[in-house]
Amino acid sequence: LAKTTQPISMDSYEGQEVNITCSHNNIATNDYITWYQQFPSQGPRFIIQGYKTKVTNEVASLFIPADRKSSTLSLPRVSLSDTAVYYCLVGDQNTGGFKTIFGAGTRLFVKA
Amino acid sequence: GAVVSQHPSRVICKSGTSVKIECRSLDFQATTMFWYRQFPKKSLMLMATSNEGSKATYEQGVEKDKFLINHASLTLSTLTVTSAHPEDSSFYICSVGERGPHQNIQYFGAGTRLSVL
């Protein structure tokens, strides 16, 4: 499973766009990139998953450059309720199976 | 995605007692479930992989006799913390792996906060 590196914490204000970048230099050809969100005292929640270029859903966008050595989670117009820890994970369905190893994550603080 | 129910949400027990935590996959038959523990301000640590109908696979450093896992059906896995001690106090979270169109996605329970006095 590829190792990921994220900023430990980030601050933002309500209404701003927040971009959290994750480095995964050793990403393998078959690896996908998945982001989870965790609120205090709750289990993580799946946000978005992608392989290359851009993926967008109702919650966020995921930007992946051509070399795939990094990815950026973009949260549009954050609110106070987006304060949480965001985890970036990289893995392969076939070889890694379901096993998921979490890194330290990024603590996002959204201020009023 | 899969809906995962975890019970209880919080438990307080005396040192030396055993505590059982249940993890149910409500709408998905899960041959594999995962158990994590999380200390305050720390990331999730994978404890073990629970396999339906067979023995669980434990991560290095996790005592299998301390943390008993039973996955007797496709919808239920249980974690029993035996002879709990204060150092076992933590947030325990289970998850179900669902095969997506490309990559597996984990769906997590709400977690169980264990406090051992």
Question: What does the alpha-carbon distance between residue A60 and residue B79 come to, in Å, rounded to a whole number?
Answer: 34
* Chain A residues whose beta carbon lies within 8 Å of the beta carbon of residue B111: 41-43
In angstroms, the separation between the Cα of residue A66 and the nearest Cα of chain B is 18
> How many Cα atoms sit within 13 Å of B88 on the Cβ side?
26
pLDDT per 10-residue tile (average), chain B, 117 residues: 92 97 90 92 92 89 94 92 96 85 80 97
In angstroms, the separation between the Cα of residue B45 and the nearest Cα of chain A is 7
pLDDT of residue B1: 76
Give the one of B32, B102, B109 whose C-beta lies nearest to A43's C-beta: B109
pLDDT of residue A1: 57
Residues 1-30 of A with CB under 8 A from B: none
pLDDT of residue B97: 80
pLDDT of residue A73: 98
| Chain segment A44-99, per-residue pLDDT in tens | 999 999 999 999 999 999 999 999 999 999 999 999 999 999 999 987 655 445 56
In angstroms, the separation between the Cα of residue B49 and the nearest Cα of chain A is 8
* Average per-residue pLDDT for chain A: 90
Structure tokens at A30: 């078959």
Which of helix, strand or coil describes residue B114? strand
pLDDT of residue A101: 77
pLDDT of residue A2: 64
| Chain segment A20-56, per-residue pLDDT in tens | 999 999 888 888 899 999 999 999 999 999 999 999 9
| Other beta carbons within 10 Å of B106 | 26
User: Is the Cβ–Cβ distance between B19 and B90 less than 8 Å?
Assistant: no
pLDDT of residue A97: 54
